[in-house]
Structure formats: structure tokens, C-alpha cells
A and B are shown apart, each in its own frame.
Chain A
Amino acid sequence: MQQKNLSIMHPRPSSIVAALYTLRDLNVEVAILHGPPGCSFKHARLLEEDGIRVVTTALDENGFVFGGHDRLVDMLQKVEERFSPKRIGVVGTCVSMIIGEELHEAVMEANLDAPVIEVEVHAGYNDNTKGVLFALESALDVGIIDRQEFERQQHLLSEATNVEKKYGAASKEYLEPSRGDVKYTVAKRVIEMLKAGKKGICILNAKKETAYMFADITVALQEVAKKLGVEDNIVNFANLDTGLGLPRVRQHAEHILADMHDNVKIDEIIGGLDEYPIAGQQVRQLIESNYRDFDFAVIAGVPHAIPMEALEGMELISITNGPRQVHPLKDMGHEHVLVEIDLHPKTLGVTNIVESEFGATLRQLAREE
């Protein structure tokens, strides 16, 4: 037996929402939330931008008391009639799980043609990755993914959880949100280093679709270096392996590489877009063997997953999308930490690189040179 970990005061990502995003990655067309009408509203709405419909059984006070089995059966049938989806997901919520609803019974009773991924989940897990895991387990059961992919994902999830506990939003009892450093000042510093002939590594280590915006920083840095005639001083690392991960995730990597095409050369591929928790090891080895003498690193996405030993002696410019990630990064020793506010919503439903604020600032400053 082992004692459970510290209790964290700030709100954190929900396992229900994590399950919904996973269903999207599994190309589910309609996800049914079995619970109260307002549950996970904001993300349900966002997900619609990404091509997955989210509907709710809208359990009310009566549903809490008398159960929602019939409503769920109804909803499954309605969904089939109205949308004829090829793949359906059913996701539990705190309410339905507390009162002991059996998703499986309703799914059996509705007896639809399309496969249904059942996710018995609520928002009460400390690690939101539980929602991902449950969704994947169920996808494995219905044969949508194979055991090998499941085990690979399982490993990545446990690494992601470790990273969050050590260096991320689950590392402290309370983390103050912050907007980070001023982008203008940091962009100036980057240009100053480039002009001084310093050598830099640009590391894109992003989580899935967030790469659509974080990749813009790679592109912007390349443009600016080219303009200043020092493009050879920059090497590009990116977790854009197109052969790893769920089909949808591979596709993001393909889109981004296609969009970069001739403008940017990725020197080192450090893993797939779902490998952000483990790509740090690859980065460490690469730097140790080839890039020891570099002066600075620009790291976008999940900078806290790159081990600090790898980056020793370099000036670090990190870009995250989590306001609560600023203080942990500063504590680790990242000199400049920037936040791309509201990045995620802008990366849903796109197939091209999306402009980032930091990228835009760099370009503007270079133009003024």
C-alpha cells in the first residue's frame, strides 16, 4: 500500500474532457455525454470545431434520483437516426457514475449497427490521463486499436503524468497563473543573439494539434534568421514523425510538414506528436553528440518535458500555452518564458500552421531591423 499524493488547489484538466478528446482522436463522429446538460460545455463546443459532435442526455434532478438509463437508450437511437455516425462514443460523468448507471446495458439495449466506445469516467481523478486511458481501453475492447498501440499509448500517458507531477501543473499545491514575459522584449533578445552570430536550437515538442500554432515559431525563427543571413546558425528539432500515433495524429504531422515544405528544413525528428512526454530523451542524446556548443534554445509546446541537463549552458526561451506553467519553468531555470494565450481553441479544426503571437512579434521586429 502506498499513500496518495498531495492535494492541489488550482482547477486542472478534467478526465471527462480528456476522454472526449481521445474519442475525437479515435475518429468518433458523435460522442454522447451521459450526465447534466452543462457538463463539459466549453470543451464540447470547441470539439465541434474539430469535427466531432457532442450531445448530452441532459440528466436533471429527476434523472439524478430515478436514473437515466432510458434517456441514454433513447439518445443512442436518436443519434443513429439523425447523424448515422460510423463510430459513436458514450462518456460517463460524475452524476451517472455516482448513481451507478451501466453504460453497457444501455448500449446493448439500443443495439446499434455502429460500434460504440463506452467510457466509464467521471471528473474525480487526480490525473486527467485516466480519461484517455479508459477511452483507449474501451477502443481496444471493440477492436478499434490493437494491443501494441494501446500499450504504446499507456506508456506515453504514464510518462506524461510523471512530467506533470515533476515539472508541470501538478507539481505544486498551488500555482499562480501568469502571462509570462513580454514577447516584444524576448523577441528583441532573440534577434540580438542571432545578430551576434550565436547558434540556436529550435525545438518543437508539442502535444498533438497544438503543434499547428507552436510550429509557427519554428517557421518565424527560420524566416528571421534567413533575413539576417544566419540561417545556418539554427537547427530545427521537431516531434513531427508521420509514422507514429493514431491516424489523426499522424495526419497533423503531415499537414504541418507540408505547410513548412521548402521554407523550413527539420534537421532532427524527435518523435511523434503524441510523444512529447518522452521526446526529451532523444533531444538529450542529439545535443550530447552533435550540438553541445550551441548558445541558446527556443523550445515550444511542452518545454518542461526536456531534461535540463540536456540544455546546460544554453540561454532558454520557452513558449507554453499554460499560464500555470510559467512559474514551474522559471523554477527549472528557463530564462524567458512566454505564454501563447488561448492557443488550443485556435488549433482545432485547422489543417495549416496558425500564426502565433511570438512568431508575429519576431517577424515584425525583423522587418524593423
Chain B
Amino acid sequence: MNPQKRIAIYGKGGIGKSSTASNVAAACADEGYNVMIIGCDPKSDSSITLLGGKRIPTILDLLREGMEIEKEDDVVFEGYKGVKCVEVGGPEPGIGCAGRGIIVAIQKLKKISESMKKMDLIIYDVPGDIVCGGFVAPIRKGLVNEAYVLTSGEYMPLYAANNICKGLSRINTKLSGVICNSRSVSREEEIVSKFANEIGSELVAFIPKEQIVQDCERDGYSVLEKAGDTDIAEVYRSLARNIMASDCAVDPRALTDERLRELTR
């Protein structure tokens, strides 16, 4: 058996982390892998498209109601092709401490979840910005062993991606690749590919911008489930295979801001 892959996909907020994560999860499930997706964003929107548009109770919802969570069925739900879906959840925006929420929820999950050990792939879908200690809890607690960075060819997402590379080295986590989620800007693949090479990594997928992604999302499904015969579904499949096969993670070298601007010019 191959060792378990435990990955996190980082990138600027709104860039497409959750939709990429859920489509990759679906593609891996199609290949017969045991997959779990753990949504760590207080918005708890990581698994909706794997669950036919339904929302599941989050770990923090239950804790808020004063429930003692004892079994994994309370918080782990099976979605598309048996993908195990978990949402951490969070406090109301502007109240309490979302970072602490992630720490508490992850500890709880680790304690009660038997099936976590049996997974081939666990995807942590994290919020856009690592704003405080809690948001790196999955990595710090040794739960994540590979990171991917998702970006488009625009300056701001690349800037965020570059910053994330700095952060990764601080928390001793290796980068397994850069994914480009296209916003249809000019020379995009070239720019992101160059960026990937210069930080010492490589571009592992170029996902085009397609209306179908949003249409499927609106109906509550992944592209793989609703539009499996499209070209973009094939892109997700190939990314999924790439992730499952990857074995060369690197310590990324972040670029200077000047170099980053040159790249995008």
C-alpha cells in the first residue's frame, strides 16, 4: 500500500481552492481511492458539491450546542462515491476565535475518527489567508505532509502564492506543486509556469476557466459527477493522478517582489 497522502491546497481567497479540492476528491474517488475532504474554512463550503448541494452539520456546530461528539458518524458524512466529508465550521463572523475553533475541531476529529487512518488521500481545504496560529493547526499537528499552491496568472494571486511559500518554509512544510486556475489573462500558463520553476517547483496543472464549473456548483455537484465527459473533467482527472503519484516535494524559495512584478508584466 502506498503511504497516505495528506495535502492542503493554499491560495488567495476566491481563487478556486474549494472547487479544485472537491473536484480532485471526486476524481480520486472515481479511481477507487479512499478519500476524505476536511473543510477548515469557517464558511464550511468545501464539501457541498460532493453532497448534492446539502450542508452537513459542522464539528463546531455540534460543539456550540454543547454536544459531546463521541463517534465519527456525528461529523463524518459520505458524499459522492464514498468520499468522506467533514466540515470544521466556525463561530459567527466577528465573534469568538475561529483559529482556536480549528485547533479544537481538528483535535476532536483526530481523536474520534477511525476511518482517517484508512484513507489514501486526505485533503485539507483551508481558508485563503493564514491569519493566525489556528489556521496552520492541521500542519502543525503533523496532519498535513504536502502542500499545493493554487494561483492564476494575475499579480495579486501570485503575490499571495509567493507569500504562502514564505510561510511554508517557516512551518517546515514542503511544496509538491503549483496549480494554475485560470482567469483567462494573457500569457497565463507561461507566467505561472515560470513562477513555479523559479521558486523551485513545477506547474502540475492548468485548469481553464469554464462556465461549466460554476453551473455544476450551482446545482450542487462536482464537475466530475455532473459533467464527467467534458475536457475540464479530464484536467481534474489528470491533476488527481498527478497528486497521487507525486513524490518530489521541495522547499520553495520565494521570489522578491520586483521579480514577481517583472514576471507578470
Contact = CB atoms under 8 A, between A and B. Distances in A.
Contact of B99 (A4, A99, A102, A105): A99
A65 to B, nearest CB: 9
A102 B170 CA distance: 14
Interface stretch (B7-15, B134-142, B193-201): B134-142
Nearest to B142: A104
Nearest to B107: A120
Interface stretch (B65-73, B155-163, B179-187): B65-73
A261 B7 CA distance: 65
Given A1-B62, A1-B74, A100 B136 contact: yes
Q: How large is the interface on A (under 10, 10 to 19, 20 to 34, 35 or more residues)?
A: 10 to 19
A2 interface: yes
Contact of B67 (A1, A97, A98): A1
6 contacts: A1-B68, A2-B68, A99-B133, A100-B133, A101-B133, A105-B140
B226 interface: no
A97 B101 CA distance: 11
A1 B70 contact: yes
B99 A2 contact: no
B40 to A, nearest CB: 13
B76 interface: no
A3 interface: yes
Size class of the B contact interface (CB-based, 8 Å): 10 to 19
B70 A102 contact: no
B97 A98 contact: yes
B134 A100 contact: yes
Nearest to B141: A102
A188 to B, nearest CB: 49
A143 B99 CA distance: 32
Nearest to A122: B100
A100 B137 CA distance: 7
**Secondary structure of the B contact surface, majority rule:** helix
A4 B66 contact: yes
A67 interface: yes
**Smallest CB-CB A-B distances: 3 pairs:** A100-B133, A4-B66, A1-B67
Query: Could you say which of A2, A67, A98, A105 has the most chain B C-beta atoms within 10 Å of its C-beta?
Result: A98
A2 B69 CA distance: 7
A67 B67 contact: no
A3 B63 CA distance: 10
Interface in A1-60: 1-4
B103 interface: yes
Contacts of B69: 1
A336 B150 CA distance: 72
A98 B66 contact: no
Contacts of B99: 98-100
Interface in B89-148: 97, 99-100, 103, 132-134, 136-137, 140
Nearest to A96: B133
Contacts of B133: 67, 99-101
A313 to B, nearest CB: 40
Nearest to A105: B140
Given A100-B132, A100-B134, 16 more contacts: A1-B62, A1-B67, A1-B68, A1-B74, A2-B67, A4-B66, A4-B67, A4-B68, A97-B103, A98-B97, A99-B99, A100-B99, A100-B133, A100-B136, A100-B140, A102-B140
Interface in B230-256: none
A99 B70 CA distance: 26
B129 to A, nearest CB: 15
A100 B67 contact: no
Nearest to A4: B66
A102 B140 CA distance: 7
Given A1-B74, A105-B140, A100 B100 contact: yes
A335 B140 CA distance: 55
Contact of A100 (B66, B68, B74, B103): B103
Contacts of A4: 66-68
Contacts of A97: 100, 103
Given A1-B62, A4-B67, A4-B68, A99 B140 contact: no
A98 B97 CA distance: 8
Nearest to A102: B140
Given A98-B97, A100-B133, A3 B67 contact: yes
A3 B70 CA distance: 11
A101 B137 CA distance: 9
Given A98-B100, A100-B100, A100-B140, A2 B132 contact: no
Contacts of B97: 98
Contacts of B103: 97, 100
Contacts of A98: 97, 99-100
A100 B69 CA distance: 22
A4 B170 CA distance: 39
Contacts of A3: 66-68
A189 to B, nearest CB: 46
Q: Which of A2, A100, A101 has the most CB of B within 10 A?
A: A100
A105 B141 CA distance: 10
Contact of B132 (A99, A102, A105): A99
A343 to B, nearest CB: 35
Nearest to B70: A1
A4 B70 CA distance: 12
A130 to B, nearest CB: 13
A258 to B, nearest CB: 44
